[in-house]
Amino acid sequence: MVTAAQVAAGLHIGLLVGEKLADLQVDYPSAPEMLGNFVARFVADDALDESMLVEWLSAASSPTVAVCVERALALLATTASRHRLHDIWGVGGGQMPTRTLTHQIQLILKVSCAHTIFLNSYEQEYLSHGDANEVARCLRELEVPHFHHALVYHASVMAIESMHARVAEHLAKLVRALVNNATVSL
């Protein structure tokens, strides 16, 4: 296991001392900001103590090091920005939290009892035209084939809870079409 002290020493010696970061910036102009993101994520994950950043800023040997450390400190400044650090490299596919995936699946399926569409156009496209291809495209964009069972589950729950035959019929046709075109397997 790597300790916080070892992480700090590695970052300090490897990139922040001397002209190494400045040299990297020649080939990759946004290197200080990207390294700042990386360092902030280390702090957010408790792999590096935030007090090290203050020390590094006061001892910054070049403007590029200062930019890097200031970026990390700015990202760590508020609770909201610390929360966003978990997605700083982007979120997709299997990296999305289950709650987010469930919400996305529900958005794809959601309809009101009066057959009015809520929140997005994906459902309207399917319900008005019976177009399972649009729903299949939305599922593919989520990049989580291991989670497609949730669509079947939530479609079943929505069909039961809606207590409207038309909604249940549309959702059953949708699931059948997704199974037939191999988007979802049962």
Q: If the chain, 186 residues long, is cut into consecutive pieces of 10 residues, what is the mean pLDDT of each piece?
A: 80 67 84 86 84 84 85 83 68 71 82 34 46 79 83 88 82 87 80
pTM for the structure as a whole: 0.47
Alpha helices in 45-164 (DSSP H): 50-58, 63-75, 79-84, 98-109, 121-129, 132-142, 149-162
Query: Can you give the pLDDT at residue 91?
Result: 57
pLDDT score of 117: 36
Best CA proximity match to 164, nearest among 128, 111, 113: 113
Spatial separation of the C-alpha atoms in residues 66 and 53, rounded to whole Å: 10
Domains of the chain: 4-87 (no CATH), 93-180 (1.25.40.180)
Q: What pLDDT does residue 27 have?
A: 87
**pLDDT, position 119:** 32
pLDDT of residue 89: 66
Give the pLDDT score at 184: 83
Under 8 Å between Cβ of 8 and 48: yes
In 3D space, the residue among 61, 54, 53 whose CA is nearest the CA of residue 35 turns out to be 53
What is the token pair recorded at 64?
Answer: 């590029």
Q: What is the pLDDT of residue 111?
A: 38
